[in-house]
A = this chain, B = another copy of it.
Amino acid sequence: MKKLINDPKNVVQESVQGFGLAHADLVEVHPDPLFVSRRQPKSNKVGLVSGGGSGHEPLHAGYVGFGMLDAAVPGAVFTSPTPDAIIPATVAADSGAGVLHIVKNYTGDLLNFETAAEMAAAEGIEVRTVLVNDDVAVEDSLYTAGRRGVGGTVLVEKIAGAAAERGDDLDAVTAIAQRVNDNVRTMGVALSACTVPHAGVPSFDLEENEIEIGIGIHGEPGRHRIAMEPADGITARLLEPVLEDLGVGSGEQVLLFVNGMGGTPLSELYIVYRRATELLKERGIEIGRSLVGNYITALEMQGCSISVLRLDQELTELWDAPVHTAALRWGF
Contacts and interface: CB of A to CB of B under 8 A. Distances in A.
A222 B247 CA distance: 53
Interface stretch (A9-17, A108-116, A157-165, A168-176): A9-17
Contact of A15 (B14, B19, B270): B270
Interface string A269-303: 11111110100000000000010101001011011
A22 B270 contact: yes
A264 interface: yes
A277 B17 CA distance: 11
A151 interface: no
A14 B278 CA distance: 12
Contacts of A297: 265-266
A231 B272 contact: no
A209 B267 CA distance: 28
Given A299-B265, A329-B329, A271 B2 contact: no
Contacts of A267: 11-12, 15, 54-55, 57, 299
B273 A21 contact: yes
Binding site secondary structure of chain A: mixed
From A58, A62, A266, A273, name the one whose CB has the most chain B CB atoms within 10 angstroms: A266
Contact of A6 (B191, B271, B300, B332): B271
B231 A6 contact: yes
B304 A302 contact: no
A6 B266 contact: no
B304 A18 contact: no
Interface in A26-64: 54-55, 57-58, 62
Given A14-B274, A15-B267, A2 B57 contact: no
A251 interface: no
A4 B300 contact: no
A29 to B, nearest CB: 11
Contacts of A22: 270, 273, 290, 292
Interface of A: 2-7, 11-12, 14-19, 21-22, 54-55, 57-58, 62, 191-192, 209, 211, 228, 230-232, 234, 262-275, 277, 290, 292, 294, 297, 299-300, 302-304, 329-332
By Cβ-Cβ distance, the 4 closest A-B pairs, closest first, are A18-B274, A18-B270, A4-B268, A2-B191
Given A22-B273, A262-B263, 14 more contacts: A2-B209, A2-B211, A4-B231, A4-B234, A4-B264, A15-B270, A16-B270, A18-B273, A57-B266, A57-B270, A262-B266, A263-B263, A263-B302, A265-B300
